[in-house]
């Protein structure tokens, strides 16, 4: 095999390796279920809030915050992470009514995910519809916000593509300089 062809194959192999190695970083976990479920009407207060994800999540930074329909924060226990499950205790003295639960976790790849859902206790209407969206990392330790927003999700695919393009350009110029 000519040296020039070996170089081309080497550049292609490195580019393929870069794409394969970078691909797992683009996979993110999703919320599979919550207990109570979004829109549920419960006869009694739950013992805890449980979130189940498709993949394990990081324990650092996991948050669950609940508010009543009038905006009063519910005093939940700290979020406990066990693999793909996040739980937080619900106070037994919580009043009947509608509640909005906001949550925020980070997948094992470090990508943050947050969302909201609503449920009610004894006949009140639920306060929120379910949502779960990847968001840009936040460096503060403030409580979970009431809204979700999406940004930065294309970066994981853009970086390997730029790397492959740069390798192709370098490979082309090396090939052209050797041809002359």
- Quote the DSSP letter at residue 110: S
pLDDT band at 16 (very low <50, low <70, confident <90, very high): low
CATH of domain 28-152: 2.60.40.1220
pLDDT digit string, tens, across residues 21-54: 555 444 567 899 999 999 999 999 999 999 999 9
Q: What is the pLDDT of residue 135?
A: 42
**C-alpha–C-alpha distance, residues 47 and 91, integer Å:** 7
Mean residue pLDDT of the chain comes to 76
Q: Which phi and psi angles does 138 have, rounded to 5°?
A: -115, 130
Parse the chain into domains and list their residue ranges: 3-24+157-179, 28-152
pLDDT digit string, tens, across residues 90-143: 998 888 999 999 999 998 888 899 999 999 998 545 444 445 544 443 333 333
Sequence-separated (6 or more) residues with CB below 8 Å from residue 111: 28, 134
pTM (two decimals): 0.57
Predicted confidence (pLDDT) at residue 149 exceeds the cutoff of 50: no
Residues counted in the chain: 180
């Amino acid at each position: 095999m000519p040296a020039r062809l070996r170089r081309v194959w080497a550049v292609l192999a490195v580019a393929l390796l870069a794409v394969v190695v970078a691909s797992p970083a683009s996979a993110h976990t999703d919320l599979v279920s919550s207990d109570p479920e979004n829109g549920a009407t419960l006869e009694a207060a739950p013992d805890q809030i449980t979130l189940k994800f498709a993949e394990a999540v990081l324990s650092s930074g996991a948050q669950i915050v609940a508010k009543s329909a009038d905006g009063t924060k519910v005093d939940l226990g700290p979020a406990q992470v066990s693999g793909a499950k996040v739980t937080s205790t619900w106070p037994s003295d919580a009043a009947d009514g509608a509640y909005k639960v906001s949550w925020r976790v980070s997948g094992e790849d470090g990508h943050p995910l947050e969302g909201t859902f609503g449920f009610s206790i004894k006949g009140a209407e639920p306060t929120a519809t379910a949502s779960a969206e990847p968001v840009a990392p936040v460096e503060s330790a403030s409580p979970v916000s009431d809204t979700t927003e999406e940004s930065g999700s294309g970066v994981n695919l853009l970086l390997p593509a730029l790397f492959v393009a740069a390798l192709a350009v370098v490979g082309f110029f090396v090939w052209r300089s050797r041809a002359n």
